[in-house]
Amino acid sequence: MDLHDFLPRFNPGARIEAVPLDPEHLPGKLCLVVDDFLLNPQAMVELAVMWRDHFQAPGNSAYPGLELWMPPAVSGLLDDWFREHVRALLGGRRSLRIDCRLSMVTLPADALQPRQWFCHRDDPGRDPRSLRAASVLYLFHDPAFGGTSLYRPTRPMDEIELMVQDAGQLDAQAFCSRWDIAPGYMHGSNAYFERVLQVPARFNRAVFYDGGVFHCSDNGPAGELSDNPRQGRLTLNGFFTCTRVAT
């Protein structure tokens, strides 16, 4: 089959809802929710089925499952839509890079490493001139697999950064003892982060947000996590590097 048959076709009638995250602690930060995002969402599922044997465990990423990076024919179309509809709303000015992958959460909760027990950032925010935006398109029908939550830290950032560092260096027992974070997938606020928005999963719903905001997927019961694209928690994830609008 020709890849052209599986390329995403965007719905010109899709409505973008801009949801503020936390005006007090995260002023100006939005999550953009787009329902009925594609005209042909099932084509992305069938592409994942066709390329199922090419999914791999991530390298340096903490993603808890399998991923398949998309060719420019797919990622370029997503980037075009992002530039036209989303970039300015998230505070981006000029696009520099797009990365896009199909992803499936497959790790059971008891197989997670400490750095997978809590939310994360795609962009540590050390360069105020750059923006790393992110998107998730839900390609599964069962809402029990969970959507996406965004968080704000409730502890000083130097403490949060130390915890993140320890999560990559300590074993599970030592990390749990030091930081008192329960093993497993994160579901809601804890002693270090407050959930400021929870976006429920819905087939063909896309969410876009600033990757410098702490976030994580609300993964469902471990026993239901499948590596079959037609049955598992399949998503299309985009990562957009941009310059920021001057302030």
Q: Where is 214: in which H helix or E strand?
A: strand 214-217
Residue 244: name the closest of 18, 86, 88, 30 by CA: 88
Handedness of CA 146, 150, 152, 157 (dihedral sign): positive
Q: What band does 106 get if pLDDT is binned at 50, 70 and 90?
A: very high
Does residue 221 have a pLDDT over 70?
no
User: Looking at the 3D structure of the chain, how many domains does it have?
Assistant: 1
**The pLDDT value given to residue 1:** 56
Residue 194 belongs to some domain of the structure = yes
Say which residues have a Cβ less than 8 Å from residue 112's Cβ, sequence separation at least 6. Answer: 64, 183, 184, 185
In a domain, 171, yes or no: yes
Q: Which of 75, 131, 141 is nearest to 102 (CA)?
A: 75
Residue 9 domain flag: no
Mean pLDDT within 215-236: 86
Domain membership flag for residue 12: no
Residue whose entry in the numeric block shows the structure tokens 């997927």? 217
In 14-26, which positions are buried (b, 16+ CB within 10 angstroms) versus exposed (e)?
Answer: beeeeeebbeeeb
Which range of residues forms the domain containing residue 82? 17-244
Residue 6 lies in a domain: no
pLDDT confidence band for 124 (50 / 70 / 90): low
Predicted pLDDT of residue 136: 98
Share of the chain above pLDDT 90, in %: 86
5 lies in a domain? no
For 161-184, the pLDDT digits (tens) are 999 999 999 999 999 999 999 899
Amino acid at 143: P
Q: Both tokens of residue 85? A: 């509809």
pLDDT for 96 equals 93
**pLDDT in the model for residue 225:** 84
239, with CB counted inside 10 A (0-12, 13-18, 19+), is: middle
* pLDDT at res. 223: 53
Per the domain annotation, does 4 fall within a domain? no
Rounded distance between C-alpha atoms, residue 14 and residue 112, angstroms: 36
Instruction: Quick: pLDDT tens for 45-74.
Output: 999 999 999 999 998 788 999 999 999 999
**pLDDT(35) > 90:** yes
Q: What are phi and psi of 185, to 5 degrees?
A: -70, 145
Q: CATH code at 190?
A: 2.60.120
Q: Which of 217, 199, 20, 212 has its CA nearest to residue 116?
A: 217
The answer to the question of residue 67 being in a domain is yes
94 token code pair: 């000029």
